[in-house]
Amino acid sequence: MLLLGTFNESEPLFIQIKERIEAQIMQGILREGEQIPSTTQIVKFYKINHITVTKGIKILVDEGIISKKRGVGMFVAPGAREQLLIARRLSFAENFVMPLVTEAHNLGMEREEVLEIINSTFPKYSQ
């Protein structure tokens, strides 16, 4: 079973299931066209409610990340990783960059000063 790890109490379980599948697609663990674990497998592995798992997977189906093949299973849809990358980049800008820029502005920091901080920190994570 690929969806390992423990759950936290700060987010609904169905969201955490959805996010684990997304993360594995992003990391290349689950590739386009590859079958994902069935709802039943996930339910048995985590000992959680079937409706909870179904709800998380339904979101991915509705977003076009997962495709269902009746009687066969669920598969990572073509273009799923790229779609997730685009969505996450937009989310990154909204949730991290905009608050950073706002706080920098509130502190009276200039663009160059913020960019200098980012540039000095970024190489640590790109190695």
> For the residues 41-46, what does the mean pLDDT come to?
90
More confidently predicted of 19 and 4: 19
Under the banding of pLDDT at 50, 70 and 90, the label for residue 5 is low
**Tens-digit pLDDT profile for residues 80-99:** 999 999 999 999 999 999 99
Instruction: Characterize the bridge pairing of strands 73-76 and 66-69.
Output: antiparallel
pLDDT in tens, 69-78: 999 999 999 9
User: How far is it, in rounded angstroms, from Cα 84 to Cα 25?
Assistant: 8
pLDDT in tens, 21-37: 999 999 999 999 999 99
**Res 1 pLDDT > 80:** no
Other Cβ atoms closer than 10 A to 2: 13
pLDDT of 2 > 60? The answer is no
CB atoms within 10 A of CB 49: 12
